[in-house]
Amino acid sequence: MKINWDFTAETPGEKAPEKVITGISAPKPQEASTEPEWTIDELKAGKPMMVYYFVAVADASTAKQTEENFKFSRKTEMSAFSNDSIERLNKNWVPKKVEIATDADTKLEKNQAHIEFWSFTGKKVDSITHKNQQALNPSDFEIRLKALEKKNREICDNEIKRLKAEEERKKKEETAAK
């Protein structure tokens, strides 16, 4: 059984590179939209996202440079992504796989192999890094996935409550204005 990786999904927290043009003043930021980002139906169906950052090892010379990353990736793919978790990821998650450039500075934590977990609303809820890679053991990983699904549901439910409260407030203001 294989994970159905979604290579088109936008990773929460990813920001487009900022354009810098010297001598030209930057455009003023547009006012924040008052429209909600999601509908209640989208929030009810919203799946969390798991983003797996890995360093592909092309040959033996680069393997030495990224040995810890390679070990992390190997443990992830051989342990964490066991049949039970693959089934859960395919059913309840948006799994995304992102390759880290082999020439990236691996001293920086963001350039090391790791896994990030994001709620449907784009809030980072957890991560597994070199420091806590014992969480890649199959049973631990499965327990973590279940707990994070529950956390995602709580975040989405809170957002639904907020949207409904906002809707009620607007209705009361309209009624009071008449």
Per the domain annotation, does 99 fall within a domain? yes
Tens of pLDDT, residue by residue over 25-39, are 444 444 444 455 889
CB 134 within 8 A of CB 140: yes
CA angle at residue 73 from 69 to 75, to 5 degrees?
115
Beta strands in 66-155 (DSSP E): 94-100, 114-118, 124-128
Q: Which helix (H) or strand (E) holds 160?
A: helix 138-177
Sign of dihedral through CA atoms 108, 69, 49, 158? negative
pLDDT exceeding 90 applies to what percent of the chain?
A: 54
Query: For the whole prediction, is pTM greater than 0.85?
Result: no
Domain contains 73 = yes
| Number of domains, the chain | 1
Query: With 90 as the cut, is the pLDDT of residue 152 above it?
Result: yes
As a whole number, the mean pLDDT across the chain is 83
Asked whether residue 138 is domain-assigned, the answer is yes
CATH number for 138 = 3.40.30
Domain with 100, as residue range(s), is: 45-177
Is 102 within the bounds of a domain? yes
pLDDT > 70: percent of the chain: 81
Looking at residue 8, its pLDDT comes to 86
Reading the block at residue 27, the tokens are 């455009």
